[in-house]
Amino acid sequence: MSEKSEARASSASSLFAAHVSRRKLVTGAALSLGAATLGSRMAFGQSPDKQPQTGTSPATPNVLSSTPVPEEVSSNAKAWPVVQGNLQGTRAATDSPINSGNIAQLKPLWSLPITTSGTFSAITATPVVLDNVVYIQDMQSNVYAIDFGSGKQLWRTDLNVPSNGPNGVAVAYGMVFAATGDTSVAFALDAKTGEKKWEVPLSNNDFECIDMAPAVYNNVVYISTNPNNTTYGNYRGGARGILYALDAASGKTLWSFDTAKDNLWGMPRINSGAGLWYPPSFDEEGNIYMGTGNAAPYPGNNEFPSGSSRPGPNDYADSLVSLDPATGAVRWSLNAKPHDLFDHDFQNSPALVTVTLNDTPTLIAIGSGKTGTVMAADAKTGAMLWKTAVGKHQNDQLQQLPPGTTEVYPGGSGGIQSPGAFGDGKYFAPYRNKPSYFTPSNADTSVQTIDMSEESGGLAAVDAVTGEIVWDVEIPSVVVAGATVVNDVVLTGSLDGYVRGFNVKDGTKVWEYFAPAGLNAPFAVAGDTLVFAPTAPYIPHVSTGGTPAPATESKAATPTSSTPKPQVMALKLQS
pLDDT at res. 252: 96
Query: Which has the closest alpha carbon to 285: 216, 218, 213?
Result: 218
Residue type, 280: P
Cα torsion through 203, 212, 87, 149, rounded to 10: 130
Question: What residues make up the domain containing 511?
Answer: 96-113+490-575
For residue 568, pLDDT over 70 is answered with yes
Asked whether residue 406 is assigned to any structural domain, the reply reads no
pLDDT at res. 380: 98
Query: Which has the closest alpha carbon to 287: 383, 366, 352, 375?
Result: 352
Here the contacts of 471-477 (C-beta below 8 Å, separation 24 or greater) are: 471/506, 471/507, 472/390, 472/507, 473/502, 473/507, 473/509, 475/500, 476/541, 476/543, 476/544, 477/539, 477/540, 477/541
For residue 553, pLDDT over 60 is answered with no
At 312-371, the pLDDT tens digits run: 999 999 999 999 999 999 999 999 999 999 999 999 999 999 999 999 999 999 999 999
pLDDT at res. 34: 36
Asked whether residue 573 is assigned to any structural domain, the reply reads yes
Asked whether residue 301 is assigned to any structural domain, the reply reads no
pLDDT at res. 119: 75
Asked whether residue 517 is assigned to any structural domain, the reply reads yes
pLDDT at res. 542: 87
pLDDT at res. 545: 63
Output 558 or 125, whichever has higher pLDDT.
Answer: 125
Asked whether residue 108 is assigned to any structural domain, the reply reads yes
At 52-103, the pLDDT tens digits run: 444 455 679 999 999 999 999 999 999 999 999 999 999 999 999 999 999 9
> First vs last Cα of the chain: how many Å apart?
33
Mean pLDDT of 159-187: 97
Could you tell me which residues are beta bridge partners of residue 234? 228
At 227-250, the pLDDT tens digits run: 999 999 999 999 999 999 999 999
Asked whether residue 512 is assigned to any structural domain, the reply reads yes
pLDDT at res. 439: 96
pLDDT at res. 563: 82
| Overall domain count for the chain | 1
Asked whether residue 552 is assigned to any structural domain, the reply reads yes
Question: Which of 119-133, 277-291, 536-550 has the least mean pLDDT?
Answer: 536-550
- SS3 assignment, position 27: helix
Per-residue CA distances from 83 to 128, 256, 389, 405 (Å): 6, 22, 25, 39
Under the banding of pLDDT at 50, 70 and 90, the label for residue 544 is confident
Asked whether residue 26 is assigned to any structural domain, the reply reads no
At 258-281, the pLDDT tens digits run: 999 999 999 999 999 999 999 999
At 11-50, the pLDDT tens digits run: 323 433 333 222 222 222 222 323 343 332 233 433 334 4
Where are the alpha helices (H) located in 366-471, listed in sequence order?
none
